[in-house]
């Protein structure tokens, strides 16, 4: 590592690119439907004329900003701007509803910066050794990792675990709709041409999260968010104090996010959920996760931003993208003639290290810009009358969904899924397991089919699925994540019984 | 009404209906897989369909034994909910013929009427119509020209 690369990252041009990237990423990521992947993909063509290191700095900054930007709509509209912000809705929206949306946005910013810094530090120090762990993951491990993600969200989402798991299965099934990737069979379309293109994940995410909120908003005359009578100062200090008080949670969640980011395909959504689960598991007495607990936001936001640095480890060292935006960045690097792989750290190391320092700079820049944009985003959303907010968000869902694949079918699917999602949510089937099933479906199917083929060829199907040590460890974690809510509820019941007994 | 059913003995009909529909979706999937040519595209949907059927049946049993009568559609105006969804669907259906902006104007107007609970007068109608036009034009310019999305 040569510190002259730090000087390269600190040039005026690179600083300006990092600033532009963070702002553009934050704004795009905050719009429901425009994911971090889309933010990076839309702006990639701008970077083709740049030097590789500068292009990487800008794309990394866009990615970092977009992951943080996803928290705005998650907190203020209960609609995660990006899949990584799914778990941010659990406590962010309840905080916004009780009038603490500005505080939630500030906390999300501090957590995102902390996570981003720890992820970038891991990229700087641990890239080569940690990438070896990811190499040990085969198709079965990816299958179990997907099921682990689903079990986590089923046990975390509102409603009961059974409904969560059923919703997850429905999501996995929805991911099969359309033309099969492996054999080109047309599956589950039942003759409908609208369904042939499959269900686009981001469109489905917009529908399942955004449309139910709009349906609820129009039904009653109540305001969408609680507005405080007195005008308060910016709650930077209060947010910083809360974040400092939960520094252990921040560091732990950032480490979780970094490790999960290294596993190809897992990404910010799984990282956020695992970190949230861990924060909930170790909650102090009196902390009410799911009802507006700041620690929940900090866990999710630090973890999902840590996946940025973590995800770059397999991307740069192995050429395997850690997350979907990494895949776009990898493509941009290939266009520029940069070959990723272990040699990149030796021969062309200056590009990598200049980029890593650029990522640090972009993350630091996110603190002032994020707080400032967050403050205005909160004030704007909170003061807009519901009469204009609902049609504006509705319009954004249509244009955002259309823009993904230029398809009207995707918009129709988005609205239909949203209406179905509203009915399901009214009867305890939360949207999050369905969405995660849809996201993890292709990864799980690939793992399942490959393991099935290998298992059949070797005549050891059971051993293939249940005989590998890493698989067994993930299965154990899956069972634990499903049993934990049961144990917790029994413990709570016993406590209530004991308290009732002592009162008598 | 003196013969109202006590909350505890009421069944959670909504959950039972939804879970039954999910069982039907699972069975439909199993039927659909019989028409695929390659076994590679059959194994995963079959596995998931069985998981969905098993999960839904467990939900039905759980719901039957321990119903949660608090679940339901809640209060609120149904016509507003329906107007919101219907105006968005209509916008999608007319979009290929009318173009993006006129079609989304239908969705915008429908949502505006659905969301407004305070009543209408000429001034408020003009203000909201103008605000709507500015928002739609702004996003149209952003997507059509800055992001080069080929909006119809």
Specify the pLDDT at position B81. Answer: 94
pLDDT for A367 beyond 50: yes
Minimum Cα–Cα distance from B150: chain A residue: A406
Specify the pLDDT at position B91. Answer: 95
pLDDT in tens, A11-56: 888 889 889 889 888 877 776 655 676 677 667 667 767 788 888 8
pLDDT for B75 beyond 80: yes
Specify the pLDDT at position A310. Answer: 85
Confidence of residue B137 (pLDDT cuts 50, 70, 90): very high
pLDDT in tens, B27-50: 999 999 998 888 888 999 999 999
CA-CA-CA-CA dihedral for A326, A331, A337, A341, to nearest 10: 40
Using alpha carbons, select from B115, B129, B93, B131 the residue that is nearest to residue A398: B93
Q: Do B112 and A182 touch (CB under 8 A)?
A: no
Residues of chain A with Cβ-Cβ distance to B126 below 8 Å are none
For chain A, percent of residues with pLDDT exceeding 70: 82
Q: How far is CA B43 from CA A451, B5, B48, B111, in A?
A: 11, 46, 9, 43
Distance, in angstroms, between B67 CA and closest chain A CA?
11
Minimum Cα–Cα distance from A397: chain B residue: B88
Of the two residues A264 and B93, the one the predictor is more confident about is B93
What b-and-e string marks burial along B3-14, b requiring 16 or more CB atoms within 10 Å of the CB? eeeeeeeeebeb
Confidence of residue B73 (pLDDT cuts 50, 70, 90): confident
Q: Do B40 and A449 touch (CB under 8 A)?
A: yes
Q: How far apart are CA B94 and CA B100, in angstroms?
A: 9
Of the two residues A196 and A316, the one the predictor is more confident about is A196
Q: Do A449 and B43 touch (CB under 8 A)?
A: yes
Cβ-proximal residues to A272 (8 Å cutoff; 6+ apart), any chain: A84, A85, A86, A87, A88, A257, A299, A300, A301, A303, A304
pLDDT in tens, A435-483: 778 877 887 888 888 888 888 888 888 888 888 888 898 899 888 878 8
Distance, in angstroms, between B135 CA and closest chain A CA?
7
Q: Where are the domains of chain A?
A: 4-223+235-503
Specify the pLDDT at position B1. Answer: 38
Q: Is A405 on the interface with B (CB under 8 A)?
A: no
Confidence of residue B54 (pLDDT cuts 50, 70, 90): very high
Question: DSSP state, B152?
Answer: -
Mean pLDDT of A121-147: 75
Global pTM?
Answer: 0.74
In A, residues 317-346, which contact B (CB 8 Å cutoff)? none
Q: Do A166 and B88 touch (CB under 8 A)?
A: no
Give me the numbers of helices (H) and strands (E) for chain A, helices first please. 21, 2
Of A107-121, A304-318, A329-343, A377-391, least confident by mean pLDDT is: A329-343
Minimum Cα–Cα distance from A190: chain B residue: B32
Mean pLDDT of A147-169: 78
Q: How far apart are CA A317 and CA A361, in angstroms?
A: 21
Mean pLDDT of A285-296: 83
Specify the pLDDT at position A411. Answer: 93
Q: Do A188 and B80 touch (CB under 8 A)?
A: no
Of A144-148, A357-361, A382-386, B10-14, least confident by mean pLDDT is: A382-386
pLDDT in tens, A90-101: 888 888 888 888
pLDDT for A395 beyond 60: yes
For chain B, percent of residues with pLDDT exceeding 90: 57
Whether A48 and A63 have beta carbons less than 8 Å apart is answered as no
Confidence of residue A492 (pLDDT cuts 50, 70, 90): low
Specify the pLDDT at position B114. Answer: 93
Specify the pLDDT at position B3. Answer: 44
Of A96-105, A205-214, A310-319, B109-118, least confident by mean pLDDT is: A310-319
Q: How many CB atoms lie within 10 A of CB A132?
A: 10
- Helix-helix angle A101-135:A52-77, to 10 degrees: 130
Q: Do A160 and B76 touch (CB under 8 A)?
A: no
Confidence of residue A231 (pLDDT cuts 50, 70, 90): very low
Q: How far is CA A436 from CA A348, A385, B47, in A?
A: 38, 32, 17
Q: Is A42 on the interface with B (CB under 8 A)?
A: yes
Distance, in angstroms, between B6 CA and closest chain A CA?
19
Whether A243 and A125 have beta carbons less than 8 Å apart is answered as no
Confidence of residue A225 (pLDDT cuts 50, 70, 90): low
Minimum Cα–Cα distance from A405: chain B residue: B149
Average of per-residue pLDDT values in chain A:
80
- Looking at the DSSP bridge assignments, the partners of residue A179 are A186
pLDDT for A270 beyond 90: no
Q: Is A390 on the interface with B (CB under 8 A)?
A: yes
**E-state strands within A154-208:** 178-179, 186-187
Distance, in angstroms, between B96 CA and closest chain A CA?
8
Minimum Cα–Cα distance from B95: chain A residue: A408
How many inter-chain contacts (A to B, CB under 8 Å) are there? 192
Q: Do B104 and A389 touch (CB under 8 A)?
A: no
Of A76-90, A188-202, A415-429, least confident by mean pLDDT is: A76-90
Mean pLDDT of A411-430: 92
Distance, in angstroms, between B1 CA and closest chain A CA?
26
Specify the pLDDT at position B84. Answer: 95
Of A156-160, A226-230, B117-121, least confident by mean pLDDT is: A226-230
Residues of chain B with Cβ-Cβ distance to A423 below 8 Å are 18
In A, residues 186-205, which contact B (CB 8 Å cutoff)? 187-188, 190
């Amino acid at each position: 590592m040569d510190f002259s690369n730090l000087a390269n990252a600190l040039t005026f041009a690179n600083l300006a690119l990092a600033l532009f990237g963070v702002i553009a990423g934050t704004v795009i990521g905050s719009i429901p439907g425009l994911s971090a992947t889309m933010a990076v993909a839309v702006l990639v063509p701008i970077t083709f004329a740049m030097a590789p290191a500068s292009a990487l700095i800008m794309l990394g900054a866009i990615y970092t900003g977009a992951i943080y930007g996803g928290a705005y709509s998650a907190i203020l509209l209960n609609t995660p701007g990006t899949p990584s912000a799914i778990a941010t809705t659990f406590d962010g929206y309840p905080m916004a509803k009780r009038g603490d949306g500005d505080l939630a946005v500030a906390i999300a910013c501090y957590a995102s910066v902390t996570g981003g810094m720890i992820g970038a530090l891991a990229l700087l120090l641990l890239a080569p050794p940690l990438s070896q762990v990811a190499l040990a993951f085969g198709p079965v491990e990816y299958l179990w990792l997907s099921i682990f993600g689903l079990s986590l969200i089923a046990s975390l989402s509102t409603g009961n675990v059974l409904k969560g798991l059923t919703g997850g299965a429905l999501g996995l099934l929805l991911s099969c709709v359309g033309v099969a990737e492996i054999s080109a069979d047309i599956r589950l379309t039942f003759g409908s041409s609208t369904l042939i293109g499959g269900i686009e994940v981001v469109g489905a995410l917009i529908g399942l999260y955004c449309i139910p909120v709009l349906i609820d908003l129009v039904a009653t005359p109540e305001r969408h968010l609680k507005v405080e009578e007195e005008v308060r100062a910016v709650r930077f200090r209060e947010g910083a104090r809360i974040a400092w008080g939960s520094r252990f949670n921040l560091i732990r969640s950032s480490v979780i996010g970094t490790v999960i980011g290294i596993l190809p395909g897992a990404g910010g959504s799984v990282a956020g959920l695992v970190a949230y689960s861990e924060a909930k598991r170790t909650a102090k007495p009196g902390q009410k996760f799911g009802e507006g607990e700041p620690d929940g936001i900090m866990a999710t936001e630090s973890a999902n931003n840590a996946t940025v640095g973590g995800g770059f480890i397999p991307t740069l060292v192995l050429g395997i993208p850690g997350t979907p935006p990494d895949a776009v960045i990898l493509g941009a690097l290939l266009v520029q003639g940069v070959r990723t792989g272990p040699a990149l750290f030796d021969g062309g190391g200056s590009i990598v290290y200049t980029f890593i320092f650029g990522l640090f700079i972009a993350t630091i820049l996110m603190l002032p810009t994020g707080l400032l944009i967050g403050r205005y985003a909160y004030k704007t959303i909170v003061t807009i009358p519901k009469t204009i907010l609902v049609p504006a968000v509705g319009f954004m869902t249509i244009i955002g969904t259309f823009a993904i694949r230029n398809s009207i079918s995707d918009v129709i699917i988005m609205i239909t899924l949203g209406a179905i999602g509203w009915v399901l949510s009214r009867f305890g089937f939360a949207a999050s397991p369905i969405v995660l099933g849809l996201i993890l479906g292709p990864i799980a199917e690939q793992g399942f089919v490959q393991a099935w083929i290998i298992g059949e060829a070797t005549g050891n199907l059971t051993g293939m699925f249940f005989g590998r040590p890493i698989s067994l460890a993930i299965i154990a974690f899956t069972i634990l994540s499903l049993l934990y809510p049961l144990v917790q509820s029994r413990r709570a019941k016993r406590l209530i019984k004991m308290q009732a007994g002592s009162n008598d | 009404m003196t013969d109202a059913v006590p909350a505890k003995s009421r069944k959670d009909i909504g959950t039972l209906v939804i879970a039954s529909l999910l069982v039907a979706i699972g069975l439909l999937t199993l039927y659909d897989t019989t028409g695929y040519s390659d076994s590679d595209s059959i194994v995963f949907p079959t596995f998931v369909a069985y998981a969905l059927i098993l999960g839904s049946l467990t939900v039905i049993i759980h719901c039957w034994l321990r119903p949660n009568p608090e679940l339901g559609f809640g209060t609120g105006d149904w016509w507003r909910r329906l107007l919101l969804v219907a105006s968005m669907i209509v916008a999608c259906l007319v979009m290929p013929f009318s173009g993006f902006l006129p079609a989304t104007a239908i969705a915008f107007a429908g949502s505006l009427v659905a969301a407004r609970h305070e009543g209408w007068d000429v001034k408020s109608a003009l203000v909201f119509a103008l605000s709507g036009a500015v928002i739609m034009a702004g996003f149209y310019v952003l997507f059509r020209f800055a992001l080069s999305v080929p909006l119809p």
